[in-house]
Amino acid sequence: MENNSMLMRILMFIGFLFVAGIVLNIVLGIAGSLLALAFRFGIPLLIAIALVRWLTGASAKHNQRRYY
């Protein structure tokens, strides 16, 4: 690597931290929105499935299907 002045190294380090902060902000923003989306639609869906299974009496004992 070339010999850079101390000021240049400090400015490069600050620039690296700035770019890394922007990248982390974008990545964590996407991950957070996906997690919020999973909670927004996943939990009500799981509750609905549990209610339907509970109301129809589906359990491990009654695993037989009736086709009539």
What are the pLDDT digits (tens) for 4-41?
899 999 999 999 999 999 999 999 999 999 999 999 99
Q: What confidence score (pLDDT) does residue 1 get?
A: 54
**Predicted confidence (pLDDT) at residue 62 exceeds the cutoff of 60:** no
Contact 4, 12 (CB under 8 A): yes
d(CA 65, CA 67) in angstroms, rounded, equals 6
- pTM, two decimals, is 0.56
Ordered by start, the domain boundaries in the chain are 1-68
Q: How many CB atoms lie within 10 A of CB 20?
A: 10
pLDDT-derived band at 54 (thresholds 50, 70, 90) equals confident
